[in-house]
Structure 1
Amino acid sequence: MKRRFNLLPVLIVAALFIFLNAYILSGLATIITSKLLIPTFWIFIACLVISLIVTIQRVRGSGGMDKYFQIAVHLFLIVFAGELIFALFLLIGDIYRLILGITSNFQPEGFHWLARSTYWVDFALIMFALTILLFIYGITRGKYAYRVIKHTLYFDDLPQNFDGFTLTQISDVHAGSFTNPKAVQKGIDLINAQKSDLFVFTGDLVNNASSEIVPYIGHFSQIKAPHGQYSVLGNHDYGDYVKWPTEADKIKNLQQLKAYHADLGFKLLLDEHVELSKNGEKIILAGVENWGIGFGERGDLKKAI
C-alpha cells in the first residue's frame, strides 16, 4: 500500500520561502530604487528553484548525481544560506526600529516609525556576501580540509592487552562529490600517518552509484592497519535516492559496491562480527547494515552480535 502524499508540508515550506524572499526584497528596495529590481529578483529566484527541481527529477531517473546536479544544489544552498543571514540582520534592524518606535510613543511628538537605515542594509548585504564566500570555500576547498579528532574511550571490561589499542574511523566519503584526486590522496596519507591498530569506515562510500568510487580505488586501497580494515554500508550506499531502470539494476549496483569494498581491502560487515586477537586476548568488532528511521531500517544488531 502506497503512502499518501501530504501536500500541506510542501505548501507551508513554499509559503515560508516566498515570505522570506519578499522580506529580503523589501530590504533591497531600501538601497536599490530601480524599477527592474522586483521582476529581476523574482525571475532569479524562480530560475533557481526550477533548476533545482528539474535536476533532482533528472537525477532520480538517471541513477547518479552528475556535476549539473551538484551545481544546482550548491547554488541553491549558497544563495539560501546568504538569504537567511541577510534576513537575520534585516530583522535585527527592524526590531531595533520597532523598539525606538514604541519608546517614541512616550515623547511629545508621539509614535513614529523610523525608516530603515541604508547603512544597516548595506551591512546586511556585506554579511550576505561573506556567507556566500564562506560557502563557496567550503564546497570547493573546505571539503578537503581534513583534520584528526582524537578521543580516548574507557571500558571496565577491556582486556589488558588492548589497553592503548588505537583505531582510525572515517565516514561519509561520498566519492561522487570528489573532483580533486590529489586532495583525496592527502586525506589517505593523513589516515595512514595515524599508524592505528585498526581502521574502520562507517558508511556512505558513494552518493548513489557504485561507479563513483572506481576512480579512487587506488587511493583508498592504500589504507592499511595491523588488525585490518573493516567497513559497513550507509544509507546512500543502497541507491535508494535515485530511480533505477529496474529493481535488478539497483540490486546489481549494490552487489558491485560490495565488491568494490573488497577491492579497497575493506572487510564489509553485514550484520556480523569478527574477533580481534592480541596476545591471546580478544575483543569483538560488530558491523550492522544501515539503520535509521526514515533512512532505511535494515540493520540487525542482535544478529551481528
Structure 2
Amino acid sequence: MLQRIVPVLLLFVLGDIYFYQAVVTLTASPLIHNLYWFIDILVLVSILSIVFLRKVVDIQHYVTGIITALLLVILPKVFSFPLLLLEDFTRIFRGFPSRSILLSEIVVGLAVLMFLLIVFGLTKGRHFYQVRKETLYFSDLPKAFDGFTITQLSDIHAGSLTNKKAVQRGIDLANAQQSDLLLFTGDMVNYTATEVDPWIKSLSLLKAPFGKFSILGNHDYGDYSRWDNTLQKEANLKRLKEAHAEMDFTLLLNDSVTLTHKGERISLIGVENWGKGGFHQYGDLNKATANVDKSMFKILMSHDPSHWDEVAVDHPQHMHLTLSGHTHGMQFGIELFGFKWSPIQYFYKQWAGLYERTGKYLYVNRGFGFHGLKGRVGVWPEITVLTLKTKA
C-alpha cells in the first residue's frame, strides 16, 4: 500500500511546486504568493489533523472533507507538472531563461478548467447518469435469447442519497431502456438496512418483464457498523433482505434461477459478496451452481470483480457473463475518446466496463450512487444495458 501511495504524494508535491512557478511567472504580488502557500499549508494541516481528531469527530465525514479539499486545491495543479517539466528540458539548453508567460497562462487556464470540472462533479456529477451499452456475441447462446437485453444497476448506496427528484431521473432513465431483465449487483446501503427505507417506493418503480434480481455487496452485511450484539447485526441483515422483497427484487444468495423464453433456458446465478484484500468471502460459487446443468448458458452476478479474476473465470462451470460493481471507478478519473484512467486501477485489474478472457466476459458497472466522496468527477453514475446476441 505504501509503495502505491508514495508516488501519488510525490506527484502532488511536484505538481504543487511547479504550479507555483507558473503563478510567480504571471504575478509578482506578495499577497497572492502568501495566499497560495497559506491555502496549501491549511490543507496539509487538515490532513495531518485526522490522526489527532479521529476519536472526537465523525471520521468518515472528516475524511470526505479532506478528500474534497485535495481534489479542489491540489489536483488541478498536478496537470501543470508535465508541461512545465517539458519546458525545463528545453530551458536547460537555453541557459535557463525566464519561463514562458504563454505556457504559464495555459497551465493556469487548465487548472481553472479542472477546478470547474471538480466543482461540477461535487455538485451535479453525483446524478449525471450515463447509459452505457454493449452488445455481446456468444456461439452457444440459445436462439430464443438472441437480442435479449439486460439493464444492470449497482452500488445504489441509499444512505448517501438525498435528492429524490434527481434519483427519480435515474430510475426513469433505467426504465426507459425497456430491457427484458433488470439486475442489481449489490451495495444497496452504506451501513444499515434502514437507509433504504425512504427509497423503497422509488426503487419499486423499476420494471422488467423477466423480473428483477439482486445480490448483496460488502456494505450490505452491516460489517462496517458497531452492534451491541450479533442478534442486532442479524436483524439488520434480515431487514435488508425484506426490503429487497418489498422492492420486488428476488435476492439470490449463493443460488440460481432458470429463465425460460420460447421453450429455451439460461441460468442466472447470484453469489454473496466475495472479495480479496481483507474483504469477507461469503460467496460460494460451488454452492450457487450445484443444481446448474454444465451445458446451460450462464450469467453470474458477483459484486466484487476480483471474484471473477480469482475464482469465476477459471471455475469448472463456464460463466459466460459475469456482472459486478463495487469499485465505483473510485468516483474519479478520466474517460475520454476511448482513454480510461482512474487511481482505482492500481488496486483492481478490472474496475470499469467490459473485460474478456478465454471467451468469458465481465462487465463492471461504475455504480448508480456514491459513497465517501460526495460526488463524481469524470467517472459518472452508470446505467448499463447489455444486449446478448447469437454469434453466427
With normalisation by structure 2, the TM-score equals 0.62
Q: Which residue of 2 aligns with 1:297?
A: 281
Q: 1:203 to 1:60 in 2, by over 3 A?
A: farther
Q: How does 1:243-262 map to 2 (within 5 A)?
A: 244=226, 246=228, 248=230, 250-262=233-245
| Distance in 2 (alpha carbons) for counterparts of 1:25 and 1:256 | 54
Q: Which residue of 1 aligns with 2:180?
A: 197
Q: Which residue of 2 aligns with 1:82?
A: 76
Q: Which residue of 2 aligns with 1:73?
A: 67
Q: Which residue of 1 aligns with 2:126?
A: 143
| Distance in 2 (alpha carbons) for counterparts of 1:134 and 1:33 | 28
**Is the contact between residue 210 and residue 257 of structure 1 (CA under 8 Å) also seen in structure 2?**
yes
SS of corresponding position for 1:153: strand
1:184: how far off? 1.0
CA deviation string 1:271-304 (max 9, x = no partner): 1111112233321100112223224433222221
| Distance in 2 (alpha carbons) for counterparts of 1:225 and 1:216 | 19
Name whichever structure is richer in strand by fraction: 2
Q: Which residue of 2 aligns with 1:30?
A: 25
SS of corresponding position for 2:17: helix
**Is the contact between residue 181 and residue 211 of structure 2 (CA under 8 Å) also seen in structure 1?**
yes
| Paired AA for residue 282 in structure 2 | R
Name whichever structure is richer in helix by fraction: 1
CA deviation string 1:61-86 (max 9, x = no partner): 86x955x664443332233331222x
**Is the contact between residue 52 and residue 76 of structure 1 (CA under 8 Å) also seen in structure 2?**
no
Q: 1:8 to 1:92 in 2, by over 3 A?
A: closer
| Distance in 1 (alpha carbons) for counterparts of 2:164 and 2:176 | 18
1:59: how far off? 9.9
| Paired AA for residue 71 in structure 2 | L
Q: How does 1:30-49 map to 2 (within 5 A)?
A: 30-36=25-31, 40-49=35-44
Q: Which residue of 1 aligns with 2:206?
A: 223
Aligned length: 286
| Paired AA for residue 101 in structure 1 | I
| Distance in 1 (alpha carbons) for counterparts of 2:220 and 2:136 | 29
**Is the contact between residue 12 and residue 78 of structure 2 (CA under 8 Å) also seen in structure 1?**
no
Residue 134 in 1 paired to residue 117 in 2? yes
Q: 1:159 to 1:263 in 2, by over 3 A?
A: same
Q: Which residue of 2 aligns with 1:108?
A: none
1:24: how far off? 3.1
| Distance in 2 (alpha carbons) for counterparts of 1:290 and 1:14 | 32
CA deviation string 1:194-221 (max 9, x = no partner): 2222110112223334333222221111
1:263: how far off? 2.3
Unpaired segments ≥5 residues, structure 1: 1-5, 105-111
Q: How does 1:1-305 map to 2 (within 5 A)?
A: 14=9, 17-36=12-31, 40-51=35-46, 70-85=64-79, 87-88=80-81, 91-102=82-93, 104=94, 112-240=95-223, 242=224, 244=226, 246=228, 248=230, 250-294=233-277, 295-305=279-289
Higher relative contact order (CA 8 A, sep 6+): 2
1:266: how far off? 1.2
SS of corresponding position for 1:273: strand
| Distance in 1 (alpha carbons) for counterparts of 2:20 and 2:190 | 35
**Is the contact between residue 185 and residue 214 of structure 2 (CA under 8 Å) also seen in structure 1?**
yes
1:14: how far off? 5.0
**Is the contact between residue 60 and residue 243 of structure 1 (CA under 8 Å) also seen in structure 2?**
no
| Distance in 1 (alpha carbons) for counterparts of 2:31 and 2:237 | 51
| Paired AA for residue 185 in structure 1 | Q
1:19: how far off? 4.2
Q: Which residue of 2 aligns with 1:109?
A: none
Q: 1:11 to 1:140 in 2, by over 3 A?
A: closer
**Is the contact between residue 232 and residue 270 of structure 1 (CA under 8 Å) also seen in structure 2?**
yes
Q: 1:15 to 1:145 in 2, by over 3 A?
A: closer
Unpaired segments ≥5 residues, structure 2: 290-392
With normalisation by structure 1, the TM-score equals 0.78
**Is the contact between residue 83 and residue 107 of structure 2 (CA under 8 Å) also seen in structure 1?**
no
| Distance in 2 (alpha carbons) for counterparts of 1:127 and 1:60 | 38
Q: What percentage of aligned pairs have identical amino acids? A: 40
**Is the contact between residue 59 and residue 65 of structure 1 (CA under 8 Å) also seen in structure 2?**
no
Q: Larger Cα Rg: Structure 1 or Structure 2?
A: 1
| Paired AA for residue 285 in structure 2 | L
**Is the contact between residue 171 and residue 203 of structure 1 (CA under 8 Å) also seen in structure 2?**
yes
| Paired AA for residue 29 in structure 1 | V
Instruction: Point out the more displaced range, 158-167 or 185-194.
Output: 158-167
CA deviation string 1:102-151 (max 9, x = no partner): 2x4xxxxxxx1111123322221111111111122123223323232222
**Is the contact between residue 169 and residue 201 of structure 1 (CA under 8 Å) also seen in structure 2?**
yes
